[in-house]
Structure 1
């Protein structure tokens, strides 16, 4: 099932995407638990897709692909390297990434994102699947020069528009070995597979939930394959995850 969050005639709601019919079946309320259809069906061309969730927090994982750690001159950490991106960094498909004026080296990072479906803490490995609603595409946009200069990542990875998510949540997906690609202006820049992760999604959920309560709609970014690089104003960047779809955003000068 593909669950989207969208706006239609001034209202924001959730719906189930039918890609073949290019339509969306409107849901009552939120998609957690058993989604309840209203019976209303809209054309995809008549709605505006929004970020599939507005999470209370985004917990991201750094250096979870060995080749990416190596390309930045780092070793794979002994334990998962986690950091936060604020909810204010989230944008949806087709929204603009605003190049921050304090940086001159903004990079793309294509990632698979996990969407949490229920409140949980200290999740045992065998029950991780019970707390996941589904998966979506993410771009962990990073001001690389700021990351290197400041030594901590709050501004470098948390600026406004630094977390594109979308285009929807796929609930029926085996994330073990999915292709992840990133293109810039149609040119392939990243190509990896989730099977290359140092630590699995289950391992990450266990590790993160040992420390903090995860709420419905929270997002975990699982790391990026090798091939990260710079974006320029005017670029169109697309992240594609096999079995989900493509998330596309344009880079603009912050107004």
Structure 2
């Protein structure tokens, strides 16, 4: 059984279609990267999956339709592009608040070990964190309520090259350790290094899908043309 399935999913803002006939079957325990330029519909696809936008077609989670489910009952871990943190609380209080909602599958101390900068910033108010630090906190909060399907919207935004590499390594480790299925939306092509499948989204449509082996055979020029419509 697939972990997540999109069946002819179409989303419109008014009379303008933003996503067109999205069809994607995600195998359990795999990492899928959704690659495309700004405005391609990547964030909209994730928001739709979380029940935040009406759509035509169907989305199935572990074989069951979630179309009529309220967002709070959809068992998917989600890190939105703008983050999910309480900016007036400290790092420590953000984590403690998340723990009051649901028991964590991951030890909170272990989460802080993954992001050592957060351990150093525990007493710091969240809105004073750097962009990269706030991004790490957003990911950490999602991990507290880890589900079998994880959506990461632009997880490398604001991260230094070193921290981006660390985050990619952790995402891969997350899949292997907890057997979760992960969908990552990104413009940063480095996410393809840890992906089992790469999906190209342009103009609200999935233009192509590649296995990691197929992707590795493409030239830089071919990738740039397909993803961005021209040379870098």
User: TM-score w.r.t. structure 1 length?
Assistant: 0.27
The answer to which structure has the higher strand fraction is 1
**TM-score when scaled to structure 2?**
0.29
